[in-house]
């Protein structure tokens, strides 16, 4: 299996989409990664933190994927916009579908 490689410009693009979406909602982005284990997640976290500086009115929180899955079940209302890679997004969107009972709630922005 080939490890996922992220490019800075891809992360920046999707992060801007998340922060702009949050401005239209409750002004909170939760970035989901696994920076304590995955090298690619370290870059993800660094880039998202840099982009967040351009949106001082939007709160940014970082959360590991394993904790995010638990927190979604415990209290989904604590989240506004979830920002994550496609791999983690697949996991979380399925979980959100089960919580809401509808498989059409997850908006996804794919890197080009």
Number of Cβ within 10 Å of residue 80's Cβ equals 17
How far apart, in whole angstroms, are the C-alpha atoms of residue 100 and residue 102? 5
Strands (E) in 7-100, as ranges, are 28-33, 59-64, 81-83
Whether 92 contacts 82, CB under 8 Å: yes
Query: Residue 3's pLDDT is what?
Result: 55
Spell out the domains of the chain, with CATH numbers in brackets.
8-100 (3.40.50.2300)
Q: Give the chain's residues under pLDDT 70.
A: 1-4, 103-112
Query: Residue 38's pLDDT is what?
Result: 87
Host H or E run for residue 59? strand 59-64
Query: Residue 101's pLDDT is what?
Result: 77
């Amino acid at each position: 299996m080939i490890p996922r490689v992220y490019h800075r410009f891809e992360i920046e693009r999707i992060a801007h989409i998340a922060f702009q979406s949050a401005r239209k909602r409750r002004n909170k982005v939760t970035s989901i990664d696994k920076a304590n284990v995955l090298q690619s997640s370290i870059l993800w976290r660094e880039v998202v933190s840099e982009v967040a500086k351009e949106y001082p009115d939007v709160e940014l929180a970082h959360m590991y994927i394993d904790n995010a899955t638990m927190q979604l079940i415990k209290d989904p209302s604590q989240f506004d916009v979830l920002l994550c890679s496609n791999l983690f997004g697949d996991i979380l969107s399925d979980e959100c579908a089960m919580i809401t009972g509808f498989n059409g709630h997850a908006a996804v922005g794919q890197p080009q």
